[in-house]
Each structure stands twice: as structure tokens, then as C-alpha cells.
Amino acid sequence: MAAFNKFNCFVQDVANALHDMKTGTAQVYKVYLTNALPTATNAVYNVPADLPAGNGYLSGGASIGAVAGSQTSGTFRFFGSTNPAWTAAGGSIGPFQYAVLYNSTSATKPLIGWWDYGTGLMLTNGNTFTVALDQINGILTIS
């Protein structure tokens, strides 16, 4: 499983109430794919650039489904119910190396974090790529 990396802006965005990460929230969180190297200072959707739409990939990425938050002893864990996935159809998707999590409901579409898969990937026709969300420890923790 690829390690999750947090964008610097996430901490300030939580303080500014841009993210509602508790169970039952109406906010939609998505993951998009990119081949551009994210940096910790990136702050909003499409920086780094989303892949172009086509061949089974939609601009904006895929939802992590219903979200849940769990707090124990001062540590909050954030979960998504659906592993975002894409299946190439009619051609290839990519190349991409990074999957970026962001809040698609907030007007500014703030970034949260990204996974680095270590090398450029090309999803060929008929094949599926899935971001496996950590259902035990959560996508991220705040403590």
C-alpha cells in the first residue's frame, strides 16, 4: 500500500472549518489521478494537474463514498467507505504516479493529501486501478 502524505494547507483548512469529516457528513471527498509531482505546499484541486478525461477516467476523480470519523483518546481517524477505482475502456488512462485526496464540496476544493505509487503507471484497456483506503487505521489521523 502506498503511504499517505498530507498537504500543509490541510491543518489550516481544518481550523477554518473547510472540512466536515465526521460520520454522516454531506461533504463529498474525491481522489483524482495525476502524473505531476505533488508538493506539500499545493493547496487546491487541479494543482497538481488532474489527468484529462477519457477512456473511463472522469475529470475530478472518484468519490471515497460515505465518510466516517472516529475519535479515541484524543486521536481522530478519517475513513472512506469506497475504494476509488477506474477501469480503462476504449484506450489507456495515464500515465499517473499519484492519487490526490480533496474535498470536492468546498468552494475552493481544498487538497488533503496524496499517495505516491513510486513509478509512473499506465492503465491499459480493460484493466482497473484501485486506491485501497486503509479501513483499519483510517485514511489519516489527527492527534
Range of the domain at 30: 4-142
**What was the pLDDT predicted at 15?**
92
pTM: 0.96
Q: How would you write the pLDDT of the chain (143 residues) with one tens digit per residue?
A: 688 999 999 999 999 999 999 888 889 999 999 999 999 999 999 999 999 999 999 999 999 999 999 999 999 999 999 999 999 999 999 999 999 999 999 999 999 999 999 999 999 999 999 999 999 999 999 98
**What was the pLDDT predicted at 63?**
98
**What was the pLDDT predicted at 26?**
87
**What was the pLDDT predicted at 108?**
94
**What was the pLDDT predicted at 1?**
67
Domain count, the chain: 1
Q: Distance between CA 102 and CA 127 in Å, rounded?
A: 25
Joined grid coordinates for residue 109: 476544493
Buried b (16+ CB within 10 A) or exposed e, 52-78: eeebbbeebbbbbeebbbeeeeeebbb
Q: Could you tell me how far CA 78 lies from the centroid of its own chain?
A: 12
**What was the pLDDT predicted at 143?**
86
